[in-house]
Amino acid sequence: MPAAFKPLKESRHEAAMFRRRALAGFAIIVLCLAALGVRFAFLQVEQHDEFSARSEANRVLTRPLAPARGLIYDRNGVLLAENVAAFRLEVTPEQVPDMKAMLERLGQIVPIGEDDLARFNSLRKGKRSYQGVPLRLKLSEEEIARFSINRWAFPGVEVVPYLTRAYPLGAEFAHTVGYVGRIDADDLAKLDKGDYAGTTHVGKTGIERYYEDRLHGEVGYEKVEVNADHRPLRVLPDRLAPKPGQNLYLTIDAHLQEAAEAAFEGRAGAAVAIDPRNGEVLAMVSVPSFDPNPFVNGIAHADYAALLEAPDKPLLNRLIRGHYAPGSTMKPFVGLAGLELGLRRPQDTVLSTGEFFIPGQSRGYRDDKRGGHGRVDLVQAIAQSVNTYFYSLAFDMGIDRFTAYMDKFGFGRPTGIDLTGEGSGVLPSRDWKRGRFGKPWYPGETVIAGIGQGYWVVTPLQLANALATLANRGVPNTPHLLLAAQDGLDARPEPVAPPPSGASVIKKPDDWFAVAQGMIEVVKSGTARGLNDGFPYVIAGKTGTAERYSRTDETWTSISSSPIERHQVLFECFTPADAPRIAVVVALEAGRSGAHDAAPIARKILDAWLPGDIERQGSDPRTKIAAQDAPP
C-alpha cells in the first residue's frame, strides 16, 4: 500500500460525520435560541409590569400647573389686585452654546438691564440646564416684534406668555392689600413643596400674605412626553386642572380710601375708618405710600434703596406699626374709666387753676390754658380738653386700675386685624416699666398718663379700634378687612363670618352718654368747634395734640421749632353720635394742633362716606337739617 501512511479521505464517512455534527450543532442552536426566547419571555411577560412602569417613568414628565391667584376687590367690586397677561423672554441654557456671546447679541435687539442679568444668573443656579429661565420680563409689543424677526438667530430663546400680579390702584393700597413677590429661600422653608410646585410668587405683605392660603388655590398637573434630553415633545391628555384661588372682597371702600389719601395732601400720617357696628375697616391709609407693582418681579436695587432712605419712610406701614403718643384723644377713655370705676359722677366738678399738684409735691402739671378753665364737669373737661380734670382723676385711680381699664379697649396689644406684622404699642403699667427700664413706677407718671402722655404709645389702628368699641357702646368688634370670598368667577361671593363681638366693656349706659355728650361738645363748642357745620349727622370727636419728639433721641428734645411742625396731631370721631356707623381716627406726624390739621382730614373722610351712607339708609337727612336751619 504505497501511500498508505497518508490516511485516505473517506468521502462517505466524512459526509455522514458531518450530518451527525450538523444535527448536533442544530440541536444546540435550537436549545440556545430557545433559552434566548425564554429570556425574552421572562422580560416581556414576567417582568413586563415593572419595565412598563419604568418606560412610562422615562417618557412621562409630570409638570405642575400653577393655579391662577385669586383676585382682590373692594367691598363694591373695584379691582385692587389682578393677574395680567404678559410676555417674557426665556432661555434654555442647554440649547445655547455660548451664553455670553448670545446675551450680548440679544441685548442689541431687546434691552437687557443689569438687574435682569443678575436675576437670570441667580435663577439659573436653581434649575436644570434643560429648563427655561426667565431673562426679560414684561416685553413690549415692539420688543416682541423685534425679537420675533430675529428669532432664528437665537436657538434656545423663546417668548413665553405668563400671568403677573398687578395692582391697578398702585400706592393707594400698598399698605393694606400688600404685594406678592418671588418665592425666596425663606418662603421655601415654610411653604408646602407640593402645593407650590408650579408657583413662582407668594404673598409677602398685607392681605396678599395674610390670606395666602385662600388666594393661592390648588396646584394642577399636566403630563408631557419628554425625550431622553428631557425636552418636552407633546402634552398628554391626562391632565388635572389647577383650582384657582378664591377671589376676596375687602371691607374697604376704594372710593373712601381714595378720598382719605387725597385729604392728607401728601403729609405723613395715617387714617383709619371703621364701622363700629361690626369692625369692618372701611378705609385705612398710610401716607406716604409706594407703588407695590415693581416689587412683584423684583424691584431694582437703586429704587429700593431710594425707598428705604426716603426721610418720610414710605415703606413704613404707619397704620399698624406707626407709633404715636395718643395725647388728649385718651381723655374720653379716662373719663369713662372714672365713671365706671365709681370715682366720679358726671356732674362732679374739678377746679382748673392752670396747674395741678400732687399733694406734698412741688412739681406742677400744667393746663394748656394759662390760668385754667375754672370749675369744669366731665362734659366740659372733655370739650375743653382740661388737663387738670384728668390729672386728678388718674391720680385718684392709680396706675393699676388705670391700666386694667384701658386694657379692655385693647391698648397695648395687637388688635387682631387680618394683617401680619401688627405692632402692640405701649400701655404703661408697673410691670411694663419694670420690665423695660428696671425702675419702679412714680405717681407723677400716673398723672401724665391721664392725658395720654408719658410712656403711652398707640398705633392708629389701636386707637381706631378703641374708638370703635367706645362708639359701639362698649361692645368690641375685632377690626377686619375680609368681607366675602368667591370660589371662581361664576360662584356667588359668600360672606365671611367676622370675628365674634365681645361682651360690652361699659357697665352703665349713662356713663356712655356722659362721655358721648362730652365728645359732641368738642365738635359743637369745644376744641374742634365748627367741624359739624354742614354735616347732617351729629359728630362726636376729640382732638389730640402732643409734643413731637425725635424717636431716636433719648433726651426727648423737640425736633422742630416751627409751630406748624412741632406737634404730632390726632383727631378721633364717630357719627351719627347716637348710633355710630363710622368711627374715624386721623394721625398726622407734624402739625399745629389736632383741631387745626387732623380734624379737617377726618371731616373730608366723613364727607366722602356720607353719600353712600345716605343711600344705604334710604332717606336723606339733609332735608331735615335744611328744614331746621330754615328761618322761621
Partner 1 sequence: MMIDELFALLRYRVRSMWRKPRIDLPLFGALLLLMAVGLTTLYSASDLDRGQVLSQALRFALGLALMFTIARVPPLTLRNWTPWLYAGSVALLVVVAVLGEGRGAHRWLDLGFVRFQPSELLKLTMPMMAAWYLNGRPLPPSWTTLGVVGVLIAIPAGLVAEQPDLGTALLIAASGAFGVFLSGLAWWRIGLLAGAFAGVVPIAWHFLHDYQRNRVLTLLDPEADPLGNGWHIIQSKIAVGSGGLWGKGWHHGTQSRLEFLPEHTTDFIFSVFAEEWGLVGVLLLLALYVFIIARCLWIAAEAKDTYARLLAGSISMALFVYVMVNGGMITGMLPVVGVPLPLVSYGGTSAVSLLAGFGVLMSIHAHRKTVAP
Element (H, E) at 307: helix 301-309
Q: Which amino acid is at 219?
A: V
Nearer to partner 1, 50 or 578 (CB): 50
Q: How far apart are CA 68 and CA 193, in angstroms?
A: 17
Q: How far apart are CA 583 and CA 282, in angstroms?
A: 9
Give, as one character, the DSSP assignment of residue 170.
Answer: G
Nearer to partner 1, 30 or 626 (CB): 30
Select the residue interacting with partner 1 from 39, 138, 366, 624 (CB under 8 A): 39
C-alpha cell at 235: 402634552
C-alpha cell at 221: 398637573
Q: How far is the CB of 492 from partner 1 (least distance, A)?
A: 47
Evaluate whether 553 touches 514 at the Cβ level (below 8 Å).
no
DSSP, collapsed to helix, strand or coil, labels residue 207 as helix
Angle between helices 460-471 and 331-340 (to 10 degrees): 40
Stretch that binds partner 1, among 49-57, 180-188, 371-379, 535-543 (CB under 8 A): 49-57
Q: How far is the CB of 29 from partner 1 (least distance, A)?
A: 5
Evaluate whether 316 touches 286 at the Cβ level (below 8 Å).
yes
Stretch that binds partner 1, among 136-144, 221-229, 319-327, 370-378 (CB under 8 A): 221-229
Select the residue interacting with partner 1 from 118, 144, 153, 233 (CB under 8 A): 233
Give, as one character, the DSSP assignment of residue 326.
Answer: -
DSSP, collapsed to helix, strand or coil, labels residue 244 as coil
Handedness of CA 427, 428, 431, 433 (dihedral sign): positive
Give the contacts of 204 (CB within 8 A, at least 6 positions apart): 178, 179, 180, 181, 295
Q: How far is the CB of 55 from partner 1 (least distance, A)?
A: 4
Nearer to partner 1, 6 or 193 (CB): 6
Q: How far is the CB of 129 from partner 1 (least distance, A)?
A: 15
Cis omega before residue 288 (within 30°)?
yes
Select the residue interacting with partner 1 from 2, 3, 11, 342 (CB under 8 A): 11
169: nearest Cα among 285, 293, 85, 263: 293
Nearer to partner 1, 10 or 578 (CB): 10
The reply on whether position 431 binds partner 1 by CB under 8 A is no
Instruction: Say whether 328 is catalytic.
Output: yes
Nearer to partner 1, 32 or 84 (CB): 32
DSSP, collapsed to helix, strand or coil, labels residue 368 as coil
Select the residue interacting with partner 1 from 50, 114, 553, 578 (CB under 8 A): 50
Q: How far apart are CA 179 and CA 286, in angstroms?
A: 15
Helix then strand then coil, in percent of the chain rounded to 5, is 40, 20, 40
Task: Compute CA distances 167 → 172, 318, 454, whole Å.
Answer: 9, 20, 40
Q: How far is the CB of 18 from partner 1 (least distance, A)?
A: 5
Select the residue interacting with partner 1 from 82, 115, 225, 303 (CB under 8 A): 225
Q: How far apart are CA 569 and CA 563, in angstroms?
A: 12
Evaluate whether 219 touches 196 at the Cβ level (below 8 Å).
yes
The reply on whether position 305 binds partner 1 by CB under 8 A is no
Nearer to partner 1, 228 or 489 (CB): 228
Nearer to partner 1, 12 or 370 (CB): 12
x/- site string to partner 1, residues 474 to 513, per CB under 8 A? ----------------------------------------
Task: Compute CA distances 577 → 333, 462, 472, 582, whole Å.
Answer: 16, 20, 10, 10
123: nearest Cα among 200, 65, 57, 34: 200
The reply on whether position 227 binds partner 1 by CB under 8 A is yes
Rg (CA), the chain: 38
The reply on whether position 129 binds partner 1 by CB under 8 A is no
The reply on whether position 45 binds partner 1 by CB under 8 A is yes
The reply on whether position 59 binds partner 1 by CB under 8 A is yes
Strand 355-357 relative to strand 364-366, pairing: antiparallel
Q: How far is the CB of 31 from partner 1 (least distance, A)?
A: 11
* Grid cell 418681579 in the structure block, residue: 297
The reply on whether position 141 binds partner 1 by CB under 8 A is no
Distance of CA 231 to the CA centre of its chain: 40
Q: How far is the CB of 34 from partner 1 (least distance, A)?
A: 9
Q: How far is the CB of 124 from partner 1 (least distance, A)?
A: 22
Q: How far apart are CA 212 and CA 177, in angstroms?
A: 11
Stretch that binds partner 1, among 38-46, 271-279, 468-476, 568-576 (CB under 8 A): 38-46
Nearer to partner 1, 123 or 226 (CB): 226
Q: How far is the CB of 53 from partner 1 (least distance, A)?
A: 8
Nearer to partner 1, 44 or 617 (CB): 44
Active-site residue, selected from the candidate residues 286, 328, 385, 429: 328
Select the residue interacting with partner 1 from 2, 3, 4, 7 (CB under 8 A): 7
Q: How far is the CB of 127 from partner 1 (least distance, A)?
A: 19
Nearer to partner 1, 56 or 213 (CB): 56
Select the residue interacting with partner 1 from 1, 4, 47, 258 (CB under 8 A): 47
Give the binding-site size for partner 1 (rule: CB under 8 A): 43
User: What residues numbered 18-37 form the site for partner 1, per CB under 8 A?
Assistant: 18-22, 25-26, 29-30, 32-33, 36-37
Q: How far is the CB of 44 from partner 1 (least distance, A)?
A: 4
Cis omega before residue 576 (within 30°)?
yes
The reply on whether position 302 binds partner 1 by CB under 8 A is no
Evaluate whether 525 touches 383 at the Cβ level (below 8 Å).
yes
Nearer to partner 1, 36 or 564 (CB): 36
Among all residues, which ones are annotated catalytic?
328
**Which spans of this chain sit near partner 1 (rule: CB under 8 A)?**
6-9, 11, 14-15, 17-22, 25-26, 29-30, 32-33, 36-37, 39-41, 43-45, 47-48, 50-52, 54-56, 58-59, 225-229, 233
